[in-house]
Amino acid sequence: MYGLFIILTIIKDNFYFNLLRTTSIIPNNQIGIGIANPSVYAALDLTSAGNNQGLLLPTLSSTAIASIAGPANGLIMYNTTIHKIQINRNGTWNTIASNSPVSALSGTAPNAPSITIAGSDYQPTALLNIKSTGNKGFLIPTQTNGMMNNISGSVGVIYYELSTNNLMYYNGSGWQITPLTSHTFSTAGGTSTEGGLGIGTTPHISANLHISNSSKGVRLPLLTTTQRNAIASPAEGLLIFNTTTNRMNICTGSNWEAVQ
């Protein structure tokens, strides 16, 4: 936790921090960004103090995604070619279904701290900005055989279920399966040389941020529809959990869409 306190001090002074470009491991403790007491169900709890920031996923084109070497099962990124979230499912990239645009973009740009991993640009709408160096994504906690089914969970917690190869999220009343649709391209060859950040594990070569925990997920920033709509110029690929509709919302660059 000492290293985390140093990071937060730097953020306060400089508004962003280019976290790492070499392989590093943080011990398997709970980490809260923007919150002093993270949810007991979250290995990483992202809380926007001003209710005006989200999680910015790595953004890659279809060509860049297809060139990733040996992507990990459950690896997530935002495809800028089709403007959808994609997840690797046993070597094939699947598109996470989302509804038609639910809201146009409007609001006031936040002036708030932001953490950037493997990047140098400050993105005010992102509480955590996971930059892709061209061939890496975001690997969330994975579980097997419904290990979290008997846990009440916290709203906005997500994880990847290995036994069924589904992305799961908790909406306040139960665990929900996110519909996945196979995309037209499969994993191709490629190389990856830069390291990443591992929380509780050595990071997978295809992940800029890899979180491993046997009983916890990742908690997304929680915003109401009104708070979400108040964000000006949200970054494409920005992900939040909408507590008004109890659904994940993704910014496609021109609209907010609800993940089914």
Q: What are phi and psi of 58, to 5 degrees?
A: -60, 135
Domain map (residue ranges) of the chain: 2-258
Higher model confidence: residue 203 or residue 98?
203
Residue 257 pLDDT exceeds 60: yes
Q: What's the Rg (C-alpha) of the chain?
A: 17
Higher model confidence: residue 45 or residue 149?
45
Q: What is the pLDDT of residue 199?
A: 81
C-alpha to C-alpha distance for 83 and 40, rounded to whole angstroms: 33
Which residue, among 190, 169, 220, has the nearest Cα to 63 in the 3D structure?
190
**What is the band of 33 on the pLDDT scale with cuts at 50, 70, 90?**
confident
Most confident of 69-78, 189-198, 208-217: 69-78
Residue 17 pLDDT exceeds 70: no
Q: What does the pLDDT average to over 49-64?
A: 87
State the average pLDDT for the chain.
Answer: 75
* Tokens coding 224: 């109401």
Which residue, among 23, 22, 19, has the nearest Cα to 7 in the 3D structure?
19
The letter for the amino acid at 144 is: T
The letter for the amino acid at 114 is: S
Cβ within 8 Å of residue 146, ≥6 positions away: 161, 163
Residue 148 pLDDT exceeds 50: yes
Neighbours of 249 (CB within 10 A): 25
Q: What is the pLDDT of residue 259?
A: 84
Q: What does the pLDDT average to over 32-41?
A: 83
Q: What is the pLDDT of residue 190?
A: 43
Is 185 exposed, middle or buried, given 0-12, 13-18 or 19+ CB atoms closer than 10 A?
Answer: middle
C-alpha to C-alpha distance for 54 and 64, rounded to whole angstroms: 24
C-alpha to C-alpha distance for 62 and 173, rounded to whole angstroms: 35
Q: What is the pLDDT of residue 244?
A: 93
Which range has the worst mean pLDDT, 16-20, 28-32, 246-250?
16-20
Residue 11 pLDDT exceeds 90: no
Which residue, among 251, 222, 245, has the nearest Cα to 107 in the 3D structure?
251
Q: What are phi and psi of 34, to 5 degrees?
A: 85, 5
Q: What is the pLDDT of residue 132?
A: 66
